[in-house]
Each structure stands twice: as C-alpha cells, then as structure tokens.
Amino acid sequence: MNKRLIADTAGLFTCELEVHGTVLGEALEHERAEELLRCAVIVALSALAQDAPWPERAMDSLADFMVEMRDRVVQGEPS
C-alpha cells in the first residue's frame, strides 16, 4: 500500500490517495505523480463546480484519452 498527499498551491484542497499493488504503487511514486494528480483533481472539481455540461464533457474527454492510450499500448507504440 502506498499513500500520497496532494494539495494545490493556493491551499484550496488537499486529498490523500492510497493505492494497492505494485503497478499503482510505482505510478504513485513517479516523479511527475503529484503534478499530474493535482491537475486531475483540479479538473474534476472545476467541472463539478460549473455543473452541466462540464462534468459530462470532462468524463468524455477522459474516456477518449483512455481509449487512445489503451490502443497505443496494444499496438506497442512507445509511451
């Protein structure tokens, strides 16, 4: 189990993320993990704060990203 505390620079939020397993544990320790996780939380909170249509648009955008990433991994393209 790995944990990481994420906070924005303005002091508007903090959250603790806990993951289990080697793959997610290594991802959580990546040198850019805090930056990327902070950005993801800001995107999610901003979309939720603005309400429709932003939460759905954010989810659509994330789904498109995940499909493209999966396709590239399956095709053996570089990360």
pLDDT digits (tens, 9 = 90+) for 5-44: 999 999 999 999 999 999 999 999 999 999 999 999 999 9
pLDDT digits (tens, 9 = 90+) for 52-65: 999 999 999 999 99
Whether residue 20 contacts residue 1, with contact meaning beta carbons closer than 8 Å, is answered with: yes
CA distance linking residue 37 with residue 60, whole number of Å: 18
